[in-house]
């Protein structure tokens, strides 16, 4: 029974496919998986907008949306109808083709990332050998769509927002990739399915997730920082800093194209949370051996939603960084720490089992954090900002 529930979506797909002629079976099988992804994640997106608006409202000591439906839960429906019926305004001087293509490229690229995420046991669209590489390759191409949106609008705020976004995403992509390399080193595979399987073991009922090791924990923290910067979430939301740039790169978008950007941003959050879950939090494996009877997909989606809630919480807590702080943080703190973490992961691998490697690896990482993060930052003179070009 538990096994049937675990595999219910896979069995359902096989059942539907078995009723069709053999010639179109592979095609239908792929299309069904794609439809499932395209249906589930936008639904989660609608749910997340409610959680975000209500939750942020509570954090900011206000009520949040409460007019549409009981407790305002129908707000996303109202938002959707509004954006569908709104006029689509394209600026007269905008580059019409690029302006039109940009949101499509963003949403398509973000959706492609879901193709390799294992969302449950046997629940992945493609199980390829280099799925992690695929994910990052696709993730890198979203930057171009943001640039296209900002540039084609012929608006200085859009262009500034796009430049900020691209600079930020390039800077934080390096630590994002580097923090996952430690995982690849330990699991010996670029396949996300194999990485989850390597974590799906238990000692005394406790899971072997990579976050529960010194190097894994450090990599997870840096992955989270880089992931939030990659998805342009607060405190890294300079590209859309509404007090400075109206709305950043999508200032000149309205109606459904704006909704597509909004969707793309949230889908990117889901996909990066899904990747973080897969790499560090054991993917679809249960947090305790005693809980393994519950379906694997429940665990995956619970972990993803938990990460999203933490992201919303951080958004409600931290102020926005300044541009120079953002760059200094990426290149002078996060990147050296990820490089050190690679070294520590190698040390961990070759020190063998035992308590000694826990002590040595933790001491190296903590020492580096204290020295780099505290001492060096304190010694740095933090005064008024100096401008190079604006004086």
Partner 1 sequence: MNIVFWILAVITVLGGLTAVTLKNTVHCALAVTVAFAGLALLFLQLDAQFAGFAQILVYIGAVAILVVFAILLTRGSDTPTTGVFSRTWFVGLLIAAAVFAVLGWAVLHSAEALPNETAAPAITVQQIGNALMSRYVLPLEIVALLLTAAMLGAVIVAMHEKGEPK
Positions touching partner 1 (CB under 8 A) are 95, 98, 128-130, 133-134, 136-141, 143-144, 147-148, 151, 159, 163, 166, 170, 173, 188-190, 386, 388, 391
- Min dist. Cβ of residue 63 to partner 1 (A): 42
d(CA 116, CA 218): 25
In 3D space, the residue among 280, 171, 164 whose CA is nearest the CA of residue 221 turns out to be 280
Cβ-based nearer residue to partner 1, 158 or 234:
158
- Min dist. Cβ of residue 72 to partner 1 (A): 39
In 3D space, the residue among 42, 31, 39 whose CA is nearest the CA of residue 264 turns out to be 42
- Min dist. Cβ of residue 250 to partner 1 (A): 18
Residue 143: CB atoms within 10 Å: 20
Residue 101: CB atoms within 10 Å: 15
Cβ-based nearer residue to partner 1, 79 or 173:
173
CB neighbour class for 320 (10 Å; exposed up to 12, middle 13-18, buried from 19): middle
Cβ-based nearer residue to partner 1, 188 or 205:
188
Cβ-based nearer residue to partner 1, 141 or 254:
141
d(CA 327, CA 324): 5
Cβ-based nearer residue to partner 1, 150 or 283:
150
- Min dist. Cβ of residue 146 to partner 1 (A): 10
- Min dist. Cβ of residue 132 to partner 1 (A): 9
- Min dist. Cβ of residue 21 to partner 1 (A): 22
Sign of the CA dihedral running 253, 256, 261, 266 = positive
Cβ-based nearer residue to partner 1, 79 or 143:
143
Cβ-based nearer residue to partner 1, 72 or 161:
161
Residue 348: CB atoms within 10 Å: 20
In 3D space, the residue among 285, 319, 322, 279 whose CA is nearest the CA of residue 302 turns out to be 285
Let me know: does 348 contact 357? Beta carbons within 8 Å: yes
> Which of left, alpha, beta for 384 (phi over 0: left; psi -120 to 50: alpha)?
beta
Measured CA distances, 340 to 48, 178, 194 (Å): 36, 10, 25
Cβ-based nearer residue to partner 1, 47 or 163:
163
Residues 6 or more apart in contact with residue 126 via CB below 8 angstroms: 115, 116
**133-137: long-range contacts at Cβ-Cβ below 8 A with a sequence spacing of 24 or more?**
133/190, 135/192, 135/271, 135/275, 136/173, 136/176, 136/177
d(CA 195, CA 224): 18
């Amino acid at each position: 029974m538990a096994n049937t529930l675990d595999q219910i979506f896979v069995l359902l797909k096989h059942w539907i496919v078995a009723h069709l002629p053999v010639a179109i079976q592979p095609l239908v099988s792929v299309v069904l998986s794609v439809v499932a992804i395209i249906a589930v994640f936008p639904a989660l997106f609608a749910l997340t907008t409610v959680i975000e608006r209500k939750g942020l409202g509570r954090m900011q000591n206000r009520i949040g949306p409460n007019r549409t439906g009981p407790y305002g839960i129908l707000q996303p429906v109202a938002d959707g109808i509004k954006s569908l019926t709104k006029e689509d305004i394209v600026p007269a001087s905008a580059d019409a083709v690029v302006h039109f293509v940009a949101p499509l490229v963003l949403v398509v690229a973000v959706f492609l990332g879901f193709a390799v995420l294992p969302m449950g046991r046997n629940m992945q669209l493609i199980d390829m050998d280099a799925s992690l590489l695929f994910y990052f390759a696709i993730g890198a191409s979203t930057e171009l769509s943001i640039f296209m949106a900002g540039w084609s609008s012929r608006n200085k705020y859009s262009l500034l927002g796009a430049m900020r976004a691209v600079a930020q995403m390039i800077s934080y992509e390096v630590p994002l990739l580097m923090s996952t390399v430690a995982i690849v080193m330990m699991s010996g595979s670029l396949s996300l399915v194999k990485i989850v399987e390597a974590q799906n073991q238990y000692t005394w009922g406790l899971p072997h997730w990579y976050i529960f090791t010194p190097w894994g924990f450090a990599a997870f923290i840096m992955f989270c920082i880089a992931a939030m910067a990659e998805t342009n979430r607060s405190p890294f939301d300079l590209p859309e800093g509404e007090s400075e740039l109206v709305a950043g790169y999508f200032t000149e978008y309205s109606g459904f194209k704006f909704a597509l950007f909004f969707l793309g941003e949230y889908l990117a959050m889901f996909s990066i949370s899904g990747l973080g879950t897969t790499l560090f939090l054991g993917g679809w494996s249960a947090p305790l051996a005693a809980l393994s009877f519950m379906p694997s997909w429940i665990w995956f989606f619970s972990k993803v939603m938990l990460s999203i809630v933490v992201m919303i919480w951080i958004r409600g807590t931290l102020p926005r960084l300044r541009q120079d702080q953002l760059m200094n943080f990426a290149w002078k703190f996060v990147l050296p720490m990820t490089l050190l973490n690679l070294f520590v992961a190698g040390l961990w691998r070759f020190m063998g089992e035992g308590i000694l490697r826990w002590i040595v690896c933790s001491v190296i990482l903590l020492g580096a954090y204290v020295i780099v993060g505290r001492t060096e930052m304190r010694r740095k003179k933090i005064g008024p900002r100096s401008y190079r070009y604006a004086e």
